[in-house]
Amino acid sequence: MSTTFQYLVVRDTGEGVEASRAAAAMPGPVTRQELAGWTVVSASELLVPSDFARIVAVASESGSLVIGVYSETGDFGYCVGASDGEVAFHVVLNDKNADNYPEGEWALKECFTMAGSPSWKDEAAQRVQRWAARIPEVVTAEAVLGMLNRTWIHAEDAVAEFVELLGIPPVNVRALLDWRRKQAPR
């Protein structure tokens, strides 16, 4: 696929408040995909990663788990998780390619800052495991670390597998991209 995309995945509590909060925080029109126990929210325009991370935190203010997924032209993936209004983790998949992009440099800096060290992967894996403790899927730090250390041909595969590791059903990224394309001014 090799294109840039981003979306939020919000853990449903049954009232839809979390997905509505995420949609309200995003600029422009949004689309949603309902998955088993989760809602995907995607905006018509791409956000810079710092705004994206802030929106993920805002969407989690009601206590829900939220993950933001960003894939840059197939080269690297960035995921940010939040709960209770606070960012819980930052991870970069295919991190060796991330510093070729300003967005990737920013994401890596967030990983370093949160871990307190340029050796961020162990801390990030522990943070993902703690964040995921509230979902039925068992997520181990070892499994996360394995994904972070793996070299991926396509970042979109990396983020898809990361989301799957968290027990989130497959996201129809093609439908999100098609919808976004239709929203673009002609």
**CA-angle at 56, arms to 78 and 117, nearest 5°:** 50
Could you read off the pLDDT of 110-152 as tens digits, one per residue? Answer: 999 999 999 999 999 999 999 999 988 899 999 999 999 999 9
> What domain range includes position 29?
5-183
pLDDT, residue 151, reads 93
Helix, coil or strand: residue 18: helix
| pTM as predicted | 0.93
Average pLDDT for the chain:
91
Could you read off the pLDDT of 61-108 as tens digits, one per residue? Answer: 888 899 999 998 889 999 999 999 999 999 999 999 999 999 999 999
Q: Measured between alpha carbons, how far is residue 76 from residues 12, 92, 104, 162, 181 in Å?
A: 28, 7, 7, 13, 22
Beta bridge partners of 67: 9, 81
- The count of domains in the chain is 1
Phi, psi of 31 (to 5 degrees): -125, 160
Paired tokens of 159: 């983020």
Helix, coil or strand: residue 10: strand
pLDDT, residue 1, reads 46
Could you read off the pLDDT of 33-52 as tens digits, one per residue? Answer: 999 889 999 998 888 888 99
| Residues 72, 24: Cα–Cα separation, whole Å | 24
Local structure of residue 79 (DSSP, 8 states):
E
Where are the alpha helices (H) located in the chain, listed in sequence order? 17-25, 49-59, 95-98, 102-115, 121-132, 141-149, 155-165, 173-183
| Residues 129, 131: Cα–Cα separation, whole Å | 6
| Residues 54, 127: Cα–Cα separation, whole Å | 18
